[in-house]
Structure 1
Amino acid sequence: MSNPIAQSLCDFIAESPTPFHATQNLLKLFTDAGFEVLHEGQDWSIEPHSSYAVTRNDSSIIAFRTGADLTSGIQMIGAHTDSPCLKIKPNPEIRTHGYLQLGVEVYGGALLHPWLDRDLSIAGRVSGLNDNGEIVSELIDFKRPIAIIPNLAIHLDREANSSRVINPQNNLPLILTQQEDTSFEQLLLQQCRHGVVKILEYELSCYDTQVPQLTGLHDEFVSAARLDNLLSSYIGARALVDTESDQAALYISTDHEEVGSSSAYGANGPFLKSVLERITNNPTELTQTLSRSLLLSCDNAHGIHPNYSDKHDKNHGPILNAGPVIKINSNQRYASTSVSSAKFQARCAEAGVPLQKFVTRSDMACGSTIGPITSSQIGIETLDVGAPQWGMHSIRETAGTQDCEYLYKAACAFLR
């Protein structure tokens, strides 16, 4: 099954082990397409029929085209750059029985068992001093397996398949090496090649080095880390780059969604509102613009697992490769309304894109997205959609190859 969107998604994910790397690669995608880079600390001169991009904290990004007239409304696509993972602690070194280990903290709602027995690497942002004594930051990526969290043999825990519980403090420290003279700080300095000569702080994540790839007998599936939510982040960005229209459009992908979005860089922060205030002329114009705008909150949905089909409402179990999913929740865990859903369905029908609907079982708790947060922050009509996937929040997730194409076509139709 040939699918260039799915294959290019794999390439993007492979080069984006952290939100910092994802944002860097998204920015390059936009600048290669002619988007002008803006900086929040500088004056902006926004022109009609022009395209711009701006980042915050190196981990969140907004890109937009002004079209003919912003006040006619802006079609927006929103996603997030972060994924559940293990993050290195500030003072991580643990020396036990001749092994150098690194302590980690669980970020977000990660499935922990899949992190065991994986070939792990480390990537992220390092901040420190350069040769002139100035504070600088740079991204690093070891790009090879340097750590592992071994499982405990079943001979030492006969109940492992029925009752093993992972204690994050005791059972997740990485094993790095047996060399006694190895210092983690020295290892980091060896990776710093763009200015940092003295490390003051870092934000580092572990990741699985197994490459993303198409799987299944006929390449029906995409298997990769961080599909939630780099799939939506990449496809939404590609759609904005690949569409030309007089319709104003905006793309945003923010950090910290997996931990509630409450940061200066998350969807519950001021980033999007600040940009919108700067590209409109006054509060009245902004309100008028938002009243004519629509946000497509793109985040993956739970596809029905054939081995656990009882975990779904039998009338709302999305199938992989059967089209994007409209996510609905009467308690506003998703922001979809009948009006926003109808508008999107009409666009998808014109583009020949099939759609599905997801409602969680009435006796189970429902997750959420940036949709309700952004909608309540700026007062924009919103729809929650996403490609169906398996294994959400695992170290390796699975989505449908054809759904990548479907979501891309839907996003392009939405932005035109």
Structure 2
Amino acid sequence: MPVTPVALAHADDLADFIAASPSSHHAASEVARRLEDAGFVPLDETQPWPSQPGGRFVVVRDGAAIAWVVPTDAAATTPVQVFGAHTDSPGFKLKPQPTTGTKGWLQAAVEIYGGPLLNSWLDRELRLAGRLALADGRVVLADTGPLLRLPQLAIHLDRGANSGLELDKQLQTQPVWGLGDPSSADILAELAASADVDAADIRGYDVVVADSARGAVFGKDDAFFAAGRLDDLASVHAGVVALASLDPSTGTQAAGGPIAVLAAFDHEELGSGSRSGAAGPFLEDVLERMYASLGADPSQRRQAYASSWCLSSDVGHSVHPNYVAKHDPVVQPVLGSGPILKINANQRYATDAVGSSAWSSWCERAGIASQEFVSNNTVACGSTIGPITATRLGLRTVDVGIPILSMHSARELAGVADLHDLTRVAEAFFRG
């Protein structure tokens, strides 16, 4: 069944969003930019925040962003509906003293970030992107565009490559970016030039490697969408689009609605333990200040939390047609058949019976189909920000997402229809 023109337009907008978000810092900036265009007001954590309801606000902390809409009739115990996602992806991060090379080649010294599928990064045009901290105290974003490549060894020199290629994580993951003598070249100069600053002014950097190819729709009936960083920019984008759709004056379509919150965290691929990660204080800091502006004392804020929800959205596994035995023999979600409800008996996901029922109601309200995901008992189950948020704040939490293939690859595969459907259910969720 062909996907709708609206879903195709949504996928094209996601491709733009991913292209503008090669690093978590770029993603947080793009979230803020898009929401400012929709009428949201940027807030600075070092400054006082407004006290009146009816606001649409966004605050960025490092590579994370939190945005929210306070309805005009919000009170001290009005609940929140938090749509959570993450801005980082597995890959490579630039090391200190990053310019290296041998035998006339210039290479970039990189460290593995998270758990990428290393082989998927071979033979692609790659870009460097992230933030630069300068001598004058400024922090600027840099993006080189296509600059690097991890060239694979030719089959003539490795006859066993097709029997199982294993890359040495130190020796065989340093991409080339030019020709010459490393002592007379500096990859930081490439980053500085992209940000229009002087390389001599760089005092620190958080820079990652990203695929430079734009996301693309393809396949029979335009069913597929492939791009880098779908884990988890697909969810971040869904949350941004859904939040921007809310009425700017009331926040919801009816009086008495919740406070809608988008929380896009950094460092999920490392366990979320940072000042901008889900295990850190960022969301709690924002919620405390937000409820203080509504006149809430700590007891009233906890009252609000008790009737609040967090929808933790991250990608999950579609059944793989070439590896069916790796999946549960009965529960087998597939691309294009709807977003997934993620379930795990050992609380690797926070979904429970009450959360399952709530998810069903939001999907029904949005008019979309949903699927379930559970792991094969012999395959370890991953986790995400859901259990962390539930543990830290006590919010009732449901883990959901879209099914994909090639998870943690340099370029992942999703269903076009699922991407749009996730946004539709996010809109229904925000409206309470």
1:195 shift after superposition: 7.7
Structure 1's 62 and 195: CA in aligned 2 closer, same or farther, altered over 3 A? farther
Q: Which residue of 2 aligns with 1:12?
A: 17
Alignment-mate amino acid for residue 192 of structure 2: L
**Number of corresponding residues:** 410
Q: Which residue of 2 aligns with 1:276?
A: 287
Residue 21 (str. 1) matches residue 22 (str. 2): no
1:182 shift after superposition: 2.5
Q: Which residue of 2 aligns with 1:42?
A: 47
Q: Which residue of 1 aligns with 2:409?
A: 394
Identity %: 41
Residue 328 (str. 1) matches residue 343 (str. 2): yes
Runs of 5+ consecutive residues of structure 2 not aligned to the other structure: none
Q: Which residue of 1 aligns with 2:168?
A: 167
Report the TM-score when normalising by structure 2. Answer: 0.92
Alignment-mate amino acid for residue 172 of structure 1: T
In the alignment, the residues of structure 1 paired with residue 233 and residue 168 of structure 2 have an alpha-carbon distance, to the nearest angstrom, of: 28
Which of 173, 186, 191 is equivalent to 1:188? 191
Residue 69 (str. 1) matches residue 69 (str. 2): no
- For residues 168-225 of structure 1, give each alpha carbon's deviation from its aligned partner in whole angstroms, at most 9, with x where no partner exists: 1000111111133432233233223268751111111111111111111321111000
Q: Which residue of 1 aligns with 2:112?
A: 106
In the alignment, the residues of structure 2 paired with residue 9 and residue 184 of structure 1 have an alpha-carbon distance, to the nearest angstrom, of: 30
In the alignment, the residues of structure 1 paired with residue 59 and residue 279 of structure 2 have an alpha-carbon distance, to the nearest angstrom, of: 18
Structure 1's 407 and 179: CA in aligned 2 closer, same or farther, altered over 3 A? same
| Of 86-95 and 289-298, the range deviating more from structure 2 | 86-95
Whether the 8 Å contact between 1:128 and 1:196 is mirrored in structure 2 is no
1:231-242 maps to which residues of 2 (within 5 A)? 231-242=234-245
In the alignment, the residues of structure 2 paired with residue 196 and residue 95 of structure 1 have an alpha-carbon distance, to the nearest angstrom, of: 20
1:415 shift after superposition: 1.0
Q: Which residue of 2 aligns with 1:86?
A: 92
Q: Which residue of 1 aligns with 2:205?
A: 202
SS at match of 2:27: helix
1:167 shift after superposition: 0.9
Which of 368, 378, 393 is equivalent to 2:383? 368
SS at match of 1:142: strand
Which of 336, 351, 362 is equivalent to 2:366? 351
Q: Which residue of 1 aligns with 2:357?
A: 342
Whether the 8 Å contact between 1:36 and 1:53 is mirrored in structure 2 is yes
Q: Which residue of 2 aligns with 1:318?
A: 333
In the alignment, the residues of structure 1 paired with residue 374 and residue 18 of structure 2 have an alpha-carbon distance, to the nearest angstrom, of: 28
1:351 shift after superposition: 2.2
In the alignment, the residues of structure 1 paired with residue 17 and residue 197 of structure 2 have an alpha-carbon distance, to the nearest angstrom, of: 22
Report the TM-score when normalising by structure 1. Answer: 0.96
In the alignment, the residues of structure 1 paired with residue 208 and residue 118 of structure 2 have an alpha-carbon distance, to the nearest angstrom, of: 14
Q: Which residue of 2 aligns with 1:142?
A: 144
- For residues 121-156 of structure 1, give each alpha carbon's deviation from its aligned partner in whole angstroms, at most 9, with x where no partner exists: 111111122xxxx2211001112x211111111222
In the alignment, the residues of structure 2 paired with residue 81 and residue 120 of structure 1 have an alpha-carbon distance, to the nearest angstrom, of: 19
SS at match of 1:306: coil
Structure 1's 175 and 194: CA in aligned 2 closer, same or farther, altered over 3 A? closer
SS at match of 1:170: coil
Runs of 5+ consecutive residues of structure 1 not aligned to the other structure: none
In the alignment, the residues of structure 2 paired with residue 249 and residue 192 of structure 1 have an alpha-carbon distance, to the nearest angstrom, of: 34
Whether the 8 Å contact between 1:127 and 1:196 is mirrored in structure 2 is no
Which of 265, 284, 290 is equivalent to 2:276? 265
- For residues 25-81 of structure 1, give each alpha carbon's deviation from its aligned partner in whole angstroms, at most 9, with x where no partner exists: 110111111111111111112322221111111x10110111122523111100000
Which of 69, 90, 102 is equivalent to 1:96? 102
In the alignment, the residues of structure 2 paired with residue 163 and residue 405 of structure 1 have an alpha-carbon distance, to the nearest angstrom, of: 37
| Of 65-74 and 191-200, the range deviating more from structure 2 | 191-200
Whether the 8 Å contact between 1:138 and 1:195 is mirrored in structure 2 is no
Whether the 8 Å contact between 2:265 and 2:277 is mirrored in structure 1 is yes
In the alignment, the residues of structure 2 paired with residue 264 and residue 113 of structure 1 have an alpha-carbon distance, to the nearest angstrom, of: 31
In the alignment, the residues of structure 1 paired with residue 415 and residue 384 of structure 2 have an alpha-carbon distance, to the nearest angstrom, of: 21
1:243 shift after superposition: 2.4
In the alignment, the residues of structure 2 paired with residue 89 and residue 195 of structure 1 have an alpha-carbon distance, to the nearest angstrom, of: 20
Alignment-mate amino acid for residue 116 of structure 2: A
- For residues 352-384 of structure 1, give each alpha carbon's deviation from its aligned partner in whole angstroms, at most 9, with x where no partner exists: 110100010111110001000000000000000
In the alignment, the residues of structure 1 paired with residue 273 and residue 223 of structure 2 have an alpha-carbon distance, to the nearest angstrom, of: 36
Q: Which residue of 1 aligns with 2:260?
A: 249
In the alignment, the residues of structure 1 paired with residue 200 and residue 110 of structure 2 have an alpha-carbon distance, to the nearest angstrom, of: 24
SS at match of 2:138: strand
Q: Which residue of 2 aligns with 1:120?
A: 126
Q: Which residue of 2 aligns with 1:222?
A: 225
In the alignment, the residues of structure 1 paired with residue 397 and residue 54 of structure 2 have an alpha-carbon distance, to the nearest angstrom, of: 25
RMSD (Å) for aligned C-alpha atoms: 1.4
SS at match of 1:363: coil
1:85 shift after superposition: 1.2
Whether the 8 Å contact between 1:136 and 1:196 is mirrored in structure 2 is no
Which of 397, 408, 412 is equivalent to 1:382? 397
| Of 89-98 and 335-344, the range deviating more from structure 2 | 89-98
Whether the 8 Å contact between 2:189 and 2:199 is mirrored in structure 1 is no
SS at match of 2:148: coil
Whether the 8 Å contact between 1:92 and 1:102 is mirrored in structure 2 is yes
1:157 shift after superposition: 1.7
In the alignment, the residues of structure 2 paired with residue 301 and residue 117 of structure 1 have an alpha-carbon distance, to the nearest angstrom, of: 26
Alignment-mate amino acid for residue 85 of structure 1: G
